[in-house]
Structure 1
Amino acid sequence: MTAPDTASAPPPGARTPRPRRRAGGERATERRLAALLLAPMLAALGLVVAYPVASAVYRSFFDDPIGGEPAFIGLRNYADALFGYGSEGFWAALGNTAVFTVVTVVVETLLGLVMALVMHRAFRGRGIVRASVLLPWALPTAVSAVIWGWMLQPDGIVNALIGAEVVWGGSEWPAKWSIIFAEVWKTAPFVALLILAGLQTIPPHLYEAAAIDGASAWRRFTSITLPLAKPAIVVAVLFRTLDALRMYDLPQILTGGANNTETLSMLVVRAATSELKQGYGGALSTITFLFVFLCAFLLIRTIGANVFAGIREEGTR
């Protein structure tokens, strides 16, 4: 037998040298792979989002001649929309958009929370209830608008149920309420679905421990359900707010903008297509984009910052 070779063995207590990792090379490879995978998506976004937005902003600095080439006029289209001949229609559309957004989002959040709590409970036929609740959201918006237009006729089912003869499209506020009713019926199930996903992440043992400690149902709801479901509620509010701010098809089909029900999106489409004012329409679309972006920024700063910061802190523990 040969004696073991101890000359090359490390001394007792010494650390065995580890092979040096090629961290820089691996990270560079990962970055190249990420860029390669993101390239198709970025190209598609550039075609369908960046180019149209840039074209609208560029066109907004030119006038709308009946014949001939458009001339550069700077910010005149923006001044006309905010303070000039189009200011009355713009501020009216902005007010209608704000009213529709605030009322529908608040009502949908409350109804969505109630529906999510009902669907979250274990009872016989829960699957049928979930499917029936989601049916309005599954319908196309145009179909929902046509259905509500039939039901809101003077001899329709809505007047028959309330026992009154309301001409819903005949004056301002009945027309606005008809849009709000149809929008809430259409999108409250979407809010309920998002909140239900948040409720299903709450551990059941928290409710059991609270019940053992003598907490009432209302105390369990305010101390456990609402705080733990808050991230899902915030996401639902953000999604619905951004969606309501660009409302177009539902009021367009129901009222056509009559009786002071025109929204910002309807105003932009009318200016760019019906009135053939590409420059003025580009200015309106740019203002609408900035308004929606400002609303999203303020919402995230006010109601979303603390929630998402808490999620990041939990993920780093």
Structure 2
Amino acid sequence: MADTKVSTEASVVRPGGDPGGREGRPSVPAVRRHGGRRATAGSGRMAALLVSPTLLVLTVVVLYPTIMALRESLYGPKGLDPDTGFISSTEPFVGLQNYADVFGAAGERFWNAFWNTTFFTVVTVGLETVIGVSMALIMHKAFRGRALIRAGILIPWAVPTAVSGLLWRWIFNSDGIANTLIGHQILWTTEGFHARVAVIIAEVWKTAPFVGLLVLAGLQVIGQEVYEAARLDGAGSSRQFWHITLPLVKPALLVAVLFRCLDALRMFDLPYVLIGAQKTSVETLSMLAQNEASNVRFGPAAAYSVLLFLYVLLIALGFVRLLGADLVGDAGAGRGRRRRMVVSRRREVTT
């Protein structure tokens, strides 16, 4: 009687009168399957509820201004109405004329700002990457006074950009510290290549610690046993850096470079405070858009802002594809492992 009861409870009669299915295996009760579906749907609703405030904020502060900028870029500045001869009280609709002017004679200033923005981004991010990695390696070493060194390295990043611009404007003054050290009188805060050098030095000084901080976080997760094994195999410091440190810290480094590229492409406050507005050698796209808006030319200013937005978006998409390749691969590997675990558990149940 006891054996018969156990065997009866262990088997589930499926539709068609086949106990245990075609191979006599116990089937999963339908209640359990429906319960799993309800749990998944409930967790999905909870996730949507938790994310909805963030989506609402992004809609208000990102999506709506972007749509309004696109709309404003289709209108021209106020001027004389050719029909009445009076100043028009509304902005005329010009369609894509503001974008077409970029590729005409009126676009010379735009392309100058575009190349300045690209130049600052490439040079500053490159220098910040090298200096930031060096800072991270120094902060990662175990020595006396390491906490003081870390605090000193991170101080420039904590200084507000406007304050940093005023500080470096004082340093690059005609009778400032920079000219005193080099022994020459250079007008750093005027037009010319030296103005670009001043912006680059000030920007790298301020934001290189940010790269170092993110790289330091990546260095913290590398186990010391990896370096010990490399030393036992005869690898020197340089080989350990190129074959162990740099590959393992690559994800954190790429994220740091991504953030710095997006920030450098929107550079405005540092050259504006340090050098000034309407300086051809250092004018960026953000400075150009602000100058057009301050002159009540909202249509061209919006068009420049939209083009800058598209430029930043393309760079961001490129980095996301670069970073997302490993993430997709890890997710696929994780799904494969989970699928194999489920199959093995099913086999254990059936045997």
Task: Determine if the TM-score, normalized by the shorter chain, exceeds 0.5.
Answer: yes
From 262, 268, 273, give the equivalent of 1:253. Answer: 273
The 2-side partners of 1:29 and 1:46 are apart by 25
User: Conserved in 1, the CA contact under 8 Å of 2:169 and 2:189?
Assistant: no
The 1-side partners of 2:329 and 2:151 are apart by 33
Q: Who is 2:291 aligned against?
A: 270
| Greater alpha carbon shift after TM alignment, 63-72 vs 151-160 | 63-72
Q: Give the letter for the 1:176 counterpart.
A: R
Q: Give the letter for the 1:83 counterpart.
A: G
User: Conserved in 2, the CA contact under 8 Å of 1:175 and 1:259?
Assistant: no
* Pair 1:246–1:12, CA change in 2 (3 A): closer
Correspondences of 1:159-174 after superposition (within 5 Å): 159-174=179-194
From 34, 39, 42, give the equivalent of 2:52. Answer: 39
Q: Who is 1:58 aligned against?
A: 71
Q: Who is 2:91 aligned against?
A: 70
Correspondences of 1:224-243 after superposition (within 5 Å): 224-243=244-263
Count of matched residue positions in the alignment of Structure 1 and Structure 2: 311
The 1-side partners of 2:6 and 2:195 are apart by 89
Asked if 1:109 corresponds to 2:109, the answer is: no
Deviation at 1:253, TM superposition (A): 0.4
Q: Which has the higher contact order (CA 8 A, sep 6+)?
A: 1
Correspondences of 1:100-249 after superposition (within 5 Å): 100-249=120-269
The 1-side partners of 2:244 and 2:263 are apart by 29
User: Conserved in 1, the CA contact under 8 Å of 2:72 and 2:302?
Assistant: yes
* Pair 1:13–1:134, CA change in 2 (3 A): same
User: Conserved in 2, the CA contact under 8 Å of 1:145 and 1:253?
Assistant: yes
SS at structure 2 position matched to 1:197: helix
Deviation at 1:175, TM superposition (A): 0.6
User: Conserved in 2, the CA contact under 8 Å of 1:168 and 1:175?
Assistant: yes
Deviation at 1:245, TM superposition (A): 0.2
| Greater alpha carbon shift after TM alignment, 168-177 vs 90-99 | 168-177
Asked if 1:20 corresponds to 2:32, the answer is: yes
Give a deviation string over 1:113-141, Cα, whole Å, max 9, x none: 10100101100111110011000000110
Q: Give the letter for the 2:234 counterpart.
A: G
Asked if 1:304 corresponds to 2:323, the answer is: yes
Deviation at 1:170, TM superposition (A): 2.9
Deviation at 1:24, TM superposition (A): 2.2
The 1-side partners of 2:38 and 2:47 are apart by 14
The 2-side partners of 1:315 and 1:114 are apart by 34
Deviation at 1:305, TM superposition (A): 4.7
User: Conserved in 2, the CA contact under 8 Å of 1:10 and 1:16?
Assistant: no
The 2-side partners of 1:16 and 1:181 are apart by 70
The 2-side partners of 1:118 and 1:89 are apart by 43
Deviation at 1:173, TM superposition (A): 0.6
Q: Give the letter for the 1:31 counterpart.
A: G
Deviation at 1:244, TM superposition (A): 0.1
Deviation at 1:153, TM superposition (A): 0.7
The 2-side partners of 1:145 and 1:219 are apart by 40
Deviation at 1:311, TM superposition (A): 5.0
User: Conserved in 2, the CA contact under 8 Å of 1:170 and 1:259?
Assistant: no
The 2-side partners of 1:37 and 1:250 are apart by 37
| Greater alpha carbon shift after TM alignment, 288-297 vs 237-246 | 288-297
Deviation at 1:309, TM superposition (A): 4.7
RMSD of Structure 2 on Structure 1 (CA):
2.1
* Pair 1:250–1:17, CA change in 2 (3 A): closer
| Greater alpha carbon shift after TM alignment, 91-100 vs 259-268 | 259-268
User: Conserved in 1, the CA contact under 8 Å of 2:171 and 2:177?
Assistant: yes
Deviation at 1:306, TM superposition (A): 4.6
The 2-side partners of 1:296 and 1:63 are apart by 30
* Pair 1:310–1:173, CA change in 2 (3 A): farther
Q: Give the letter for the 1:45 counterpart.
A: L
**TM-score normalised to the size of structure 1?**
0.91
Deviation at 1:16, TM superposition (A): 8.4
Deviation at 1:248, TM superposition (A): 0.4
Give a deviation string over 1:248-301, Cα, whole Å, max 9, x none: 0001101113242100000011111x2101111111111110111112223344
Gaps of 5+ in 2: 12-25, 80-87, 338-351
Percent of residue pairs identical:
46
SS at structure 2 position matched to 1:9: helix
The 2-side partners of 1:309 and 1:35 are apart by 22
Q: Who is 1:292 aligned against?
A: 312
